[in-house]
Amino acid sequence: MNRVMNELLLSCDWGTSSFRLRLVDTRSGQVWGEQLLPTGVAATFDTWKVEHDRTEIERETFFSKFLKTQINALADSLAISLEQVPVVLSGMASSSIGMAELPYANLPFSLDGSQVSVYWFAPRPGFNHRLLLISGVRGSQDVMRGEETQMIGLSDLLTETNRSVLIFPGTHSKHMYIENGQLIDFQTFMTGEVFSVLTSYSILKESTDVADLTNGLTLYRANFQEGVRASESTALLHTLFAVRTNQLFGKLTRPQNALYLSGLLIGAELRELLQKPDWRLVLCCDNNLVDFYTEALTVLGLWQYTTRIDAGHIRYAATAGHRKIMNHQLTLAETDS
């Protein structure tokens, strides 16, 4: 791998609960290696607070040291030197619990990466890399950090229509409204977190069993579909209690009930899209949730209006976004000079 340094890029997506570092060829987009860890920004921030109380180490320095350790580990695994290779960093690293807090970019937000809010960190002793930190986007009542970079990375695939809704399932699902090459609005849905809280801490804990949830659609598809259909109720807080009575009255087993609850929540998230008949839906998911969302969209009659982006593109969407954003920043620098 004898590459000129300016043809390489370290792409880092540092979320709340995960860390992804990749070495990418800026010309071809080929990923040469990656370092994946379950050490997200939240845990790193908590560790920094303890260390700061003991040594008064600055937050930026602490995060840089962690990042440098992972860069060195990636370099060792590839048997090359990565000194001076620039770093692009996105996700929660630019939040109040991250490396440094940056202001959000505002809507409307272009898919070409030209309106990203960024900050350059110069190389320093112990961290011999230029680092480009990317912030998130804010709406009138919503914010996100990280998904906007994925959106930029996927933008070349959004060619079927001028109006698309990108659906990013997850703990905090995102619906991103794209019109004529711009993000004009987005919404966050706490679908995954609410499911976790209800099945772990609420009275519904005793009425559900999530141990085999990954195989749930194969075993209990009808119960999931029933939950999606029940999401039609406008009294969601009341309908949730049916999960309790399903088990009390012997209508459903606890594993079946977990699928019913999943269908109820995902259905409630997606049902609003029935009011958007002129928008093309784009499902962006690379994990086991894709089957649940596909099923729910089918039950709601929305699948015929939906395109699914394959898992490979989703997995590397942030890295593709990093390349675009870096290229735009370098173009700006050349223009200014």
117 and 194 share a domain? Answer: no
Does residue 163 sit within a domain? Answer: no
Does residue 80 sit within a domain? Answer: yes
94 and 201 share a domain? Answer: no
139 and 197 share a domain? Answer: no
The CA-based angle 266-276-282, given to 5 degrees, is 60
pLDDT of residue 44: 96
Structural domain that includes position 283:
189-312
CATH number at residue 240: 3.30.420.310
124 and 193 share a domain? Answer: no
Rounded distance between C-alpha atoms, residue 213 and residue 258, angstroms: 8
140 and 198 share a domain? Answer: no
Rounded distance between C-alpha atoms, residue 90 and residue 72, angstroms: 19
Nearest Cα neighbor of 111 from 18, 177, 168 is 177
Of 145, 163, 180, the position where a domain reaches its end is 145
pLDDT digits (tens, 9 = 90+) for 290-307: 999 999 999 999 999 999
Rounded distance between C-alpha atoms, residue 208 and residue 171, angstroms: 19
218 and 295 share a domain? Answer: yes
Q: How many domains does the chain have?
A: 2
123 and 60 share a domain? Answer: yes
Neighbours of 184 (CB within 10 A): 14
Side-chain-side CA neighbours of residue 256 (13 Å): 13
DSSP label at 137? E
CATH number at residue 91: 3.30.420.300
Does residue 161 sit within a domain? Answer: no
- Pairing status of strand 280-284 against strand 182-189: unpaired
Q: What is the mean pLDDT of residues 3-7?
A: 58
pLDDT band at 257 (very low <50, low <70, confident <90, very high): very high
pLDDT of residue 287: 82
Amino acid in the structure at residue 88: V
Does residue 160 sit within a domain? Answer: no
Does residue 184 sit within a domain? Answer: no
Does residue 51 sit within a domain? Answer: yes
Neighbours of 107 (CB within 10 A): 17
Residues paired with 143 in a beta bridge: 138
Residue 74, phi-psi category: left (phi > 0), alpha (psi -120 to 50), beta (remainder): alpha
43 and 129 share a domain? Answer: yes
Side-chain-side CA neighbours of residue 268 (13 Å): 22
pLDDT digits (tens, 9 = 90+) for 191-233: 999 999 999 999 999 999 999 898 889 999 999 999 999 999 8
Of 145, 176, 206, the position where a domain reaches its end is 145
19 and 115 share a domain? Answer: yes
Q: What is the mean pLDDT of residues 256-260?
A: 97
140 and 248 share a domain? Answer: no
209 and 306 share a domain? Answer: yes
126 and 196 share a domain? Answer: no
User: pTM for the complete prediction?
Assistant: 0.91
Does residue 77 sit within a domain? Answer: yes
pLDDT band at 5 (very low <50, low <70, confident <90, very high): low
Does residue 232 sit within a domain? Answer: yes
Average pLDDT, the chain: 93
pLDDT digits (tens, 9 = 90+) for 128-156: 999 999 999 999 899 999 999 999 999 98
Burial of 149 (0-12, 13-18, 19+ CB in 10 A): buried
199, 210 in Cβ contact below 8 A? yes
The CA-based angle 233-236-241, given to 5 degrees, is 110
